[in-house]
Amino acid sequence: MSATQTPTAREASDLGEAIGKIAAFAAMSLHESFPHLDLEDLVVTFTGEHTQEFIGRRYLVAIEQGKAPGEAAGEAGTALLHAWAKARLEARAQLDREKDQTAP
């Protein structure tokens, strides 16, 4: 299966399972490392449509590069966590800027 081909039903099922596992493991890993992060909120974040596309694209690219499924999943999961952390840091910085602008 490639990122540009229409997958068979079996390939789509396998891809969906891989995406689900990557999202679940990423959410559980973050929650275990940072228990103050709500696991349900992480699961909702990591199972959204855009996030599923993000994971799927990275997973398929790694597969196309000849990586084993586990390695491809690891790369996709790592990319997900990096993107999540970057977005969280950017949101925090934006809140800090807004707070500074409204301070007397």
25-74 tens-digit pLDDT: 999 999 999 999 999 999 999 999 999 999 999 999 999 999 999 999 99
Q: What is the pTM of this model?
A: 0.82
Q: 9-33 and 49-64 helices cross at what angle (nearest 10)?
A: 110
pLDDT of residue 45: 93
Question: Residues 6 or more apart from 19 whose CB is under 8 A from it?
Answer: 52, 55, 56, 59
Give the position of tokens 């299966």. 1
**Residues 85-96 pLDDT 10s:** 999 999 999 999
